[in-house]
Structure 1
Amino acid sequence: MATNQIFNGLQVNRSLLAGGVVLTGVGSLLGAAGAAMVCAALFTAGRGWLRSLETAPTALAQRALHDAKVASSAGWDAWRAQHGSPN
């Protein structure tokens, strides 16, 4: 009964509890290490993919923004022409 302790009528096996805590800690560390490895692999793959692109993502974004501004201006001009607004 030395390894057992009674808490409010609940008998707990302390060695089994300690073993579970240790295994949970080890499992958490292994899980964190695995997650770090996955993140590193995905980061490396993403960086390689970005380097293989013909056009840089910033250039694509600038082109899309320019296209959106042109389309907005054309829409605004068409609306003004339709409604006869001087603005």
Structure 2
Amino acid sequence: MATNQRIFSGVQVSRSMLAGGLVLTGIGSVLGAAGAAMVCAALLTAGRNWVRSLETPPTALAQRALHEAKVASAAGWEAWRAEHGSPN
């Protein structure tokens, strides 16, 4: 009974099978992490290429949207001041 150990009464665990399972689980974890890293790298590269292919860069679109929001806010403020007669 050198390879088996009694943990509970009647339950025996094979150390060689336990060790083999741990080794295979470790190898599978490493392969899974490597696969996930490759998928992330592929998606990142595709995203960068897509952004580079755009006619207008995202920063320009964001600046334009911010400018339009400021203009709309100022127009709304002026309309409110005109309606309520506030000197501010």
TM-score (norm 2): 0.92
In the alignment, the residues of structure 2 paired with residue 6 and residue 80 of structure 1 have an alpha-carbon distance, to the nearest angstrom, of 85
TM-score (norm 1): 0.93
What's the offset of the Cα at 1:85? 0.7
What's the offset of the Cα at 1:82? 1.1
5+ residue gaps, structure 1: none
5 Å matches for 1:3-42?
A: 3-9=3-9, 10-42=11-43
What's the offset of the Cα at 1:7? 2.6
Q: How many residues align?
A: 87
What's the RMSD between the two structures over aligned residues?
Answer: 1.1
In the alignment, the residues of structure 2 paired with residue 8 and residue 61 of structure 1 have an alpha-carbon distance, to the nearest angstrom, of 65
% of aligned pairs identical?
79
5+ residue gaps, structure 2: none
5 Å matches for 1:48-59?
A: 48-59=49-60
